[in-house]
Amino acid sequence: MVFRTSPSLAQGLLEAAPDGIIIVDAKGIIALVNAQTEKLFGYAREELMGQPIEILIPQTFKHQHVNNRDNYIAAPQIRPMGIGRELSGMRKDGSLIPVEISLSPLETDTGRMVVSIVRDATEHLRIEREMKDLNTQLKQNMQELLVSNSELESFCYSVSHDLRAPLRSLDGFSLALIEDYQEVLDDTGQDYLRRIRASSQHMSQLIDGLLKLSRITRAELHKEYLDITAIARKSLDSLAKPGIAVRMETSIIPRMKAHADRDLMTLVFDNLLSNAIKFSAKNANPTIEVGVQTIDGETVFYVRDNGAGFDMNFADKLFGAFQRLHSANEFEGTGIGLAIVQRVINRHGGRLWAEGQVGFGATFYFTLPP
Amino acid sequence: MDQKNIILLVEDNPDDELLTLRAFRKNNVANEIIVTRDGQEALDFLYAQHAYADRDKSLTPILILLDLKLPKLGGLEVLRHIRSVEETRRIPVVILTTSDEDQDLVKSYDLGANSFVRKPVDFSEFMESVKLISLYWVMVNQPPRR
């Protein structure tokens, strides 16, 4: 299909254009307007033809516009008008309308003319203002977050000093009493002191756990393309102590990959695997599996053991900080491990859940969005 | 008591002071241990000024055990000062602190600490640390004298 520039086609194009088209001569007199111009400015074209272009310019800018026009006609270029300024046109009823204007020269046999394309910028302006507001809000939120973060930093710093000092005194003087005043203290007395020591050491572990947890929230995430199999393997190797490794059967699906932070994922596997080892240690044939499967089109990683398991009725308590589903007599621990895993997975935008059966083992599933 | 090769302990917590001294005693460390309880007092001792003006200044400690969190002048400030004065800048300094914050670790080494030891809560572990510190820095290491 070939377009011929017949007058009727040219006219059709002009009238069909979605923006206002105004052609003025070298003296700024309107020579031609299209239908959209009439619509934008509220004039019938007969009212505009032969008029100076300034009829469409707001009062305050009329004078300056004449100068601008003269400058332009002397050295015309195709360019947007008034770059960086908010321009307004004036409608017939005197109301102002925000516009975007672009100009280009037109050489005709009657002389040099200027074509201007006028676009209604109302919507554009509204969107711009909305974006500016959102940006300001975002900057404010960022600022508040930075402040709160730095407050958290100093809080953690104080905790690591201030809370540990009294604990050391508790532990130290209890031991000093046991050692230096043996003859004066009977067995019960020494037992009481041993319990005091154990408590202060336990509290120290709790503080360490809390600090670890808060560090994960504060730490910067450096995501990279990771070999998950290698990370799980390395974690398992460092955890498995000589005696247990021999009895324990482990399987890790090869070539698993994910987009995640290396240190934090190491932490995830350290915690999940140390739990798996711990809770299946009493088993005759402990088995630990690390793998990946697709559930509903989603990639899901899992760590599975055949150990003590847990009661599914209490599944929602699993991931709370210091929450435990077993007594300290059965299995030692502070209950912070899973809270740490939860927080890491959360920071990656993933989900963590578990399934278990008392006496048959547990499986911990998690997702890592790409 | 070895009054020539003195050890300077800078520690503000009286419990920690007592426990550290006890640990040294239990490990048969014969050196005289001078205790200063804040950063300013430590400097006063080292440079024989104010309360310590009558001290024999030629007796520079063979080891300084420095806590970081001190009233008046903090541990890092004391360290910076010690390392900037000719007569004290080579004295071995062991930072003995509760903090396990990376920033403290890095800053201490940046300012010229020779060693960084974290005070464990478990006292038997602490005793072990003190034993090892005294074994190494008092018995094995050669102080930068004369």
- Complex ipTM tops 0.85: no
Residues in Cβ contact with B60 at an 8 Å cutoff, skipping those fewer than 6 apart:
B46, B87, B88, B91, B145
pLDDT at A166: 86
**What is the per-residue burial (b if ≥16 Cβ within 10 Å, else e) of A297-316?**
eebbbbbbbbbbbbeeeeee
**Does B2-140 carry CATH code 3.40.50.2300?**
yes
**Where exactly are the structural domains of chain B?**
2-140
Q: Which residues does chain A have within 8 Å of residue B123's beta carbon, measured at their own beta carbons?
A: 168, 171-172, 174-176, 197
**Where exactly are the structural domains of chain A?**
7-120, 163-217, 221-367
> Tokens 């420095």 map to which residue?
B66
pLDDT at A299: 93
* CATH no. of A7-120: 3.30.450.20
Burial of B20 per CB tally in 10 Å (0-12, 13-18, 19+): buried
User: Which class would CATH give A221-367?
Assistant: alpha beta
> Tokens 């559930």 map to which residue?
A295
Q: A139 to chain B nearest CA, in Å?
A: 28
For A174-224, the pLDDT digits (tens) are 889 988 998 898 999 888 888 888 888 888 887 877 777 777 777 788 999
Q: Are residues A172 and B120, on separate chains, in Cβ contact within 8 Å?
A: no
- Residue in chain B closest to A154 (alpha carbons) equals B101
For B6-46, the pLDDT digits (tens) are 999 999 988 889 989 998 888 888 899 999 999 999 999 99
Q: Are residues B123 and A161, on separate chains, in Cβ contact within 8 Å?
A: no
pLDDT band for position B135 (cuts 50, 70, 90): confident
CA distances from B134 to A3, A68, A115, B64 (A): 97, 87, 91, 11
Higher pLDDT, B88 or B101: B88
Give residue A334's region: left, alpha or beta (phi > 0; psi -120 to 50).
Answer: alpha
Q: Is the pTM of this model over 0.95?
A: no
Whole-angstrom distance, CA of residue B125 vs CA of residue A197: 12
Q: Which residues does chain A have within 8 Å of residue B120's beta carbon, measured at their own beta carbons?
A: 168
Burial of A56 per CB tally in 10 Å (0-12, 13-18, 19+): buried
Q: Residue B121: which of A161, A164, A176 has the nearest Cβ? A: A164
pLDDT at A331: 67
Low-confidence ranges of chain A (pLDDT < 50): none
Q: Are residues B15 and A157, on separate chains, in Cβ contact within 8 Å?
A: no
Nearest one of A271, A285, A257 to A368, comparing CA atoms: A257
pLDDT band for position B105 (cuts 50, 70, 90): very high
pLDDT at B92: 95
Q: How many cross-chain Cβ pairs, A to B, lie less than 8 Å apart?
A: 53
pLDDT at A237: 86
Dihedral (CA of A40, A46, A50, A55) sign: negative
Q: Which H or E run contains A68?
A: helix A59-74
Q: Residue A201: which of B101, B119, B122 has the nearest Cβ? A: B122
For A229-260, the pLDDT digits (tens) are 999 999 988 887 665 555 788 899 999 999 99
Q: Which of B24, B97, B104, B123 to mutate to test the interface with A (most CBs of A within 10 A)?
A: B123
Q: Are residues B123 and A172, on separate chains, in Cβ contact within 8 Å?
A: yes
Q: Residue B22: which of A171, A176, A200 has the nearest Cβ? A: A176
